[in-house]
A = this chain, B = another copy of it.
Amino acid sequence: MIHVLFFLFAFLLSTTSHHHVVAIDFCVADLKGAETPSGYPCKPLSKVTIDDFVFSKFPKPTKNFFNFSAVVASVDQFPALNGLGFSIVLVEIEAGASVPLHTHPDATEVIIAGNDNIIAGFISSADNKVFVKTLSKGNIMVLPQGLLHFVMNNGKEKASLTVIFTSVRASVQTVAVALFASNFDSNLISKTTFLDHAEIKKLKGIFNGSG
């Protein structure tokens, strides 16, 4: 009989959950739906499983041109992040390698050092001040939104970083790639960056750009 009464209780308190089988406590992304500025539609509650809440991928090998790798946990790979406004990236950098100068157009970045001897820095726009720090394992550093910054592994072994972004996706604009791997017209580059034509052409060659 209690059983019957309890159903009554559930009914009284949470008619919304019965009526509305979608998200009450969370809005796990339905990745097949159309994304809006606030995120993806919510997956129906009946289709949400524990696996939507757990991310279990790991950085790939770093033996490549840049000698670092990254695995991205944003809403597209980790649907429980839908609507929360942040994402995570796990990074590994070989000894001596660096993540070249870049910006995240819509996110502040926070890095948690997994090893010693990681140099990170950013350039403030207000006064062109360069903020650089050598981090030890467990140090946390904030790299403010949209500012040019870099990370370098100055240690003797591969280093790992846990990176948090205050946006739903880890968008990246690397200066060298934007200028030299694109079809950005070389005359426009020279006029708007003051770089020599010869330098531009050389780097377009390296980065396989055109224009």
Q: Which residue of B lies closest to A160 (CB)?
A: B138
Q: Shortest CB–CB separation between residue A119 and chain B, in angstroms? A: 8
**Looking at chain A, what size class is its interface with the partner chain?**
35 or more
A55 CA to B13 CA, complexed, in Å:
19
Across the interface, A50 reaches (CB within 8 A) one of B56, B132, B171, namely: B132
Chain B residues positioned under 8 Å from A2 (CB to CB): 65, 205-208
A94 CA to B161 CA, complexed, in Å:
24
| A203:B195 contact, CB within 8 angstroms | yes
Q: Shortest CB–CB separation between residue A7 and chain B, in angstroms? A: 9
Chain B residues positioned under 8 Å from A136 (CB to CB): 56
A15 CA to B169 CA, complexed, in Å:
11
Chain B residues positioned under 8 Å from A45 (CB to CB): 124, 126-127
Against B, the Cβ 8 Å flags (1 = close, 0 = not) of A30-63 are: 1001111111111001000010011110101000
Chain B residues positioned under 8 Å from A9 (CB to CB): 64-66, 177
Across the interface, A58 reaches (CB within 8 A) one of B84, B85, B138, namely: B138
Is A74 located at the chain interface by the 8 A CB criterion?
yes
Q: Which residues of A are interface residues toward B (Cβ below 8 A)?
A: 2-3, 5-6, 8-10, 12-17, 19-20, 22-27, 30, 33-42, 45, 50, 53-56, 58, 60, 64-66, 68-70, 72-74, 76-78, 80-86, 88, 90, 98-101, 103-106, 108, 110, 112, 121, 123-133, 135-136, 138-148, 150, 152, 162, 164, 166, 169-178, 180-185, 188-189, 191-196, 199, 202-203, 205-208, 211
